[in-house]
Amino acid sequence: MENTYQFKEVMSREERLAPGHRMCAGCGGTVAVRAVLRALHPEDKAVIGNATGCLEVSTFMYPYVAYEDSYIHNAFENAGATLSGVETAYRVLKKKGKITDNYKFITFGGDGGTYDIGFQSLSGAMERGHDMVYVCYDNGAYMNTGTQRSSATPQFADTTTTPAGKVLNGKVQVRKDLTAIMAEHHIPYAAQTTYTSNFKDLHTKAEKAIYTPGAAFLNIMSPCPRGWGYDPSELMNICKLAVDTCYWPMFEVMDGKWKLTYEPKKKLPIEDFLRPQKRFKHLFKSGNEDLLVQFQNEVDKRWEELQKKCSL
């Protein structure tokens, strides 16, 4: 599928997330959702699931819905389980001849609904091997409730529950590596991506995730202008810096085989990614140089580990 990416054709597909929803300008989540839905083959039907979060409250506010496909929101912590029920119903009804169309099953959750409160439900759904895709749009905090820290929040990020103060420098802990954890479920396909330039990496992975039989997990870094504190017009640049500093490496794990899908020609220093974001402003105060070193060390350590896994 990788070599057949045709930018114009993909971009001219009919939108499956209609305009008029209430997501913010410069929101990375919306870009991620649209990009994933573009990977559906136009002839296929889909049921879209959604954990409670920004996306859900902004795209299905009664009586308006932004999805062209059937859509189900249940609660915050159970997008995995809910869609597994839908997918199972599909298999039974298809077997009984009550349904003839082809359906694909994709559910979206933010990092709060995926890394944290929905983690168990996600793990169960993946382990059971439902033919569905769980997409995490990871913006690194509970943005819908106003930027509270999650286990996806990077170390030192200033959030409303880990404020950078006189004695604390934002979040104390480092972030959870959820994509690796999902890969260790030995599901057919797990991948991590974001959108840079022509959306090829995201599109290719979304298509693989949707069309690989069985459970698939896709983790998409999706910046949030309010929570991260960047100018909305800078969205694509932020993503580019995330991958070029190796803060957010793009890789996939298919049938147990780890593969980097992007390697920066020149690995940039982490400061380049952190500097445009208000949530890291305190790291650039004099006296905090060691925090930047710590951050860089963590990125380097993880990048090396990932490179090892991918070279096996």
User: Applying CB under 8 A, which residues contact another protein?
Assistant: 47, 49, 56-57, 60-63, 65, 67-75, 77-78, 80-86, 88-93, 95-96, 98-101, 103, 120-121, 123-124, 127-128
Q: Which is nearer to another protein, 128 or 176 (CB)?
A: 128
The 10 Å Cβ neighbour count of residue 208 is 20
Q: Which is nearer to another protein, 130 or 279 (CB)?
A: 130
Q: Which is nearer to another protein, 35 or 47 (CB)?
A: 47
**Residues contacting residue 303 through CB under 8 Å, at least 6 positions apart:** 246, 249, 267
Q: Provide the token pair at 304.
A: 């090396």
CB 54 within 8 A of CB 33: no
Distances (CA, A) of 275 to 153, 193, 226, 283, 284: 16, 22, 15, 9, 8
Q: Is the peptide bond before 276 cis (omega within 30 degrees of 0)?
A: no
How open is the CA angle 221-223-225, to the nearest 5 degrees? Answer: 175
In the complex, minimum distance from the CB of residue 21 to another protein, in angstroms, rounded to a whole number: 11
Q: State the Cα–Cα distance between residues 196 and 255, nearest whole angstrom.
A: 26
Closest CA to 18 of 72, 70, 65, 78: 65
CB 53 within 8 A of CB 110: yes
Q: Which is nearer to another protein, 134 or 156 (CB)?
A: 134
In the complex, minimum distance from the CB of residue 114 to another protein, in angstroms, rounded to a whole number: 15
Q: Which is nearer to another protein, 77 or 158 (CB)?
A: 77
In the complex, minimum distance from the CB of residue 100 to another protein, in angstroms, rounded to a whole number: 7
Q: Which is nearer to another protein, 89 or 172 (CB)?
A: 89
Q: Provide the token pair at 28.
A: 């990375």
Q: State the Cα–Cα distance between residues 17 and 108, nearest whole angstrom.
A: 13
In the complex, minimum distance from the CB of residue 82 to another protein, in angstroms, rounded to a whole number: 4
In the complex, minimum distance from the CB of residue 255 to another protein, in angstroms, rounded to a whole number: 23
In the complex, minimum distance from the CB of residue 105 to another protein, in angstroms, rounded to a whole number: 10
Q: Which is nearer to another protein, 121 or 194 (CB)?
A: 121
In the complex, minimum distance from the CB of residue 61 to another protein, in angstroms, rounded to a whole number: 5
Burial of 17 (0-12, 13-18, 19+ CB in 10 A): buried
